Structure 1
């Protein structure tokens, strides 16, 4: 295997999703005629942020600065889906000759996305013939791919950081830890810059943790990652944290209007996340008084129903899977299609989940009970799903949580 091929294999194994930048240490040794002094390690100053670029960041860009309708890529983690990145470039109005800036933002990690998106193959060519596991952005018209590692509130408020992001024709939020995005980026100049780009319908995408922060409601994972088993046994246990907190119909991090009423989750099938996802959705269901008592969850803000756009809904996305979401214009629905890589070995499915009725039992330190949760499954790339009306594929099955147990267990 060539050195470039080896490096790219490492990237595909997860360097783009996680990874931490190392801090270099300088060592010095002083001696006396009798005894050696201890070795002192002096840490170099840690930069406020890190910036990496490939291509020509000073190129004149004639691609449009705004688009008529919004575009989002919702990716479920694992191997990146090459065609989804090409779709973002196309939706940005970038073509050969226009130039365009693709900006990756993350709180930890490396610049590993830059060569993957910009080049066409392991030889780092810009050929119009694009190999599998490469995006070929330069051949499609990109003039640069730029990565910003933004690890603090101070960095997210940096004028230099925001100047780079503000010029983006496409923004990608990498994987990692979504709690960093909520802790470091929410309420900062960076959030306002991202919202300004969304107002111009600049295409935005995210994978794994980057996906998690694209809904109206976000699972913020401020502590450990919640498991399905513990979530269903106690829907208020400490690892279930949301943004906004407390739950509200406003105030969430970026909260794209095209993804209204949604919460999103990744690695859905490989990590058996249906149980925790039903719990997340249940927590968003507002309390309802009935002759038999109160249903729903304390602190919930939306109704459970089998129709209507302003109801509790969620999308769970499998690994190596991307949902391409696009607006169709004023008064028309937001639609979505699913894509994956031709070499995928997983089913690469998307699950559209909606509680049709409120939970009958939802209280702290009490097992959850909720019935008739609709699950729609999309596992092909030909069907168009209507996110506004929640139509396009029929109900695949109904799942229940009965005193903390998910039924059926083979929901996938």
Structure 2
């Protein structure tokens, strides 16, 4: 635990980029900036769980952007995702990518102007702790909130992780595991972050990505326990599997676009945890889990699922999670 605290402290004090650029970012561009936006843009959210993109979901996003101009934001790597939007997803006029390496870039008028002109904004994967450090409480985060009123906002992996009103900060950690989080749910390694983005219909949502393939159910329950003990007592979890995407319409109705065997998971603890103390394992007697499949729909305003793929009530006792419902296809093979 002491080592983890020192790692977190050093991460905050160390320079955030080994090769900082003079303006705090690198820009990449592909497409035709002068091309008119062919269609009418409309609001919506793309919540992608990471890994390979579901092309149907991403084409839904580009259609919401009027097949126009996309701005992609990230804090690592380069132009690869912009090229994928242009050449694989297709149907866009241009993609402009900004790769941040310093917080000052979130105040840069050139980036803010590009966002204002964009027909859609996409938050790439990477390390969400850098997004929190670079973007939280800046003109850029405030602008994303405002743009969400009339154009689509999307995110994948780390980008998805910051789209709820509460999220995992991942400070000084490569990604806390379920056993670690359940063993000390209110400890300093469970770095939950609030008051960052304020996207429509996401007020009570805590998002997590790469969900079941990385065994993240338990850690999401631990995140919810900490938030409920220290902040919002009605927050719920929304985990999205790799390759899966939830597409959210302007009215808050969402559906899953995903290959067979992948889901989104609505995680709703009952009340406060029975025990969530510093240095002690979590006890949470009842956590309702609802599976959202391709035939389901979820109303994010009311947090109601119709056509659920499966559901059940799990529990955490002494830091051990049991009773997680099994999707039907998996239950047949067991």
TM-score under structure 1 length normalisation: 0.71
User: SS of the residue aligned with 2:305?
Assistant: coil
Q: How many residues align?
A: 309
Supply the distance in 2 between the matched residues of 1:410 and 1:383 (Cα, whole angstroms). Answer: 16
Supply the distance in 1 between the matched residues of 2:270 and 2:301 (Cα, whole angstroms). Answer: 16
Supply the distance in 2 between the matched residues of 1:241 and 1:253 (Cα, whole angstroms). Answer: 14
| Contact 2:44–2:148 (8 Å) recurs in 1 | no
Supply the distance in 2 between the matched residues of 1:164 and 1:53 (Cα, whole angstroms). Answer: 11
| Contact 1:324–1:337 (8 Å) recurs in 2 | yes
Give the match for residue 293 of structure 1. none
Q: Does 1:74 align with 2:74?
A: no
Larger proportion of helix? 2
Give the match for residue 316 of structure 1. 239
Q: Does 1:53 align with 2:29?
A: yes
Give the match for residue 7 of structure 1. none
Supply the distance in 2 between the matched residues of 1:151 and 1:59 (Cα, whole angstroms). Answer: 30
Supply the distance in 2 between the matched residues of 1:45 and 1:396 (Cα, whole angstroms). Answer: 49
Supply the distance in 2 between the matched residues of 1:231 and 1:45 (Cα, whole angstroms). Answer: 36
User: SS of the residue aligned with 1:400?
Assistant: strand
Answer with 1 or 2: which has the greater Rg. 1
User: SS of the residue aligned with 1:53?
Assistant: strand
Supply the distance in 1 between the matched residues of 2:250 and 2:168 (Cα, whole angstroms). Answer: 24
- Unaligned stretches of 5+ in structure 1? 1-20, 24-43, 95-99, 120-133, 245-251, 286-296, 303-310, 329-333
* 1:276 to partner: Cα distance: 0.5
Structure 2 matches for 1:369-388, cutoff 5 A? 369-379=283-293, 381-388=294-301
Supply the distance in 2 between the matched residues of 1:45 and 1:213 (Cα, whole angstroms). Answer: 25
Within the candidate set 272, 295, 302, 2:215 is matched to: 272
| Contact 1:230–1:237 (8 Å) recurs in 2 | no
Q: Does 1:238 align with 2:188?
A: yes
Supply the distance in 2 between the matched residues of 1:265 and 1:45 (Cα, whole angstroms). Answer: 31
User: SS of the residue aligned with 1:176?
Assistant: coil
* 1:267 to partner: Cα distance: 0.7
Structure 2 matches for 1:303-382, cutoff 5 A? 311-328=234-251, 334-341=252-259, 347-379=261-293, 381-382=294-295
Report the more deviating stretch, 84-93 or 163-172. Answer: 84-93
Supply the distance in 2 between the matched residues of 1:353 and 1:410 (Cα, whole angstroms). Answer: 11
Structure 2 matches for 1:18-29, cutoff 5 A? none
Deviations 1:312-337 (A, max 9, x none): 21101111110011122xxxxx2111
Deviations 1:350-376 (A, max 9, x none): 111101232111111111101120000
* 1:198 to partner: Cα distance: 1.5
* 1:22 to partner: Cα distance: 9.6
Supply the distance in 2 between the matched residues of 1:210 and 1:393 (Cα, whole angstroms). Answer: 28
Report the more deviating stretch, 170-179 or 400-409. Answer: 400-409
Q: Does 1:109 align with 2:77?
A: yes
| Contact 2:292–2:305 (8 Å) recurs in 1 | no
Deviations 1:63-118 (A, max 9, x none): 44x63xx3101111111221111101212334xxxxx1011110111101122111
Give the match for residue 177 of structure 2. 227
Structure 2 matches for 1:9-408, cutoff 5 A? 48-61=24-37, 63-64=39-40, 67=42, 70-94=43-67, 100-119=68-87, 134-137=88-91, 142-199=92-149, 201-224=150-173, 225-244=175-194, 252-285=195-228, 297=229, 299-302=230-233, 311-328=234-251, 334-341=252-259, 347-379=261-293, 381-389=294-302, 390-394=304-308, 396-408=311-323
Supply the distance in 1 between the matched residues of 2:145 and 2:311 (Cα, whole angstroms). Answer: 35
Supply the distance in 2 between the matched residues of 1:335 and 1:410 (Cα, whole angstroms). Answer: 24
Deviations 1:256-308 (A, max 9, x none): 131111100011111101111111111222xxxxxxxxxxx3x1322xxxxxx
* 1:409 to partner: Cα distance: 6.3
Supply the distance in 2 between the matched residues of 1:164 and 1:73 (Cα, whole angstroms). Answer: 20
- Unaligned stretches of 5+ in structure 2? 1-16, 328-334
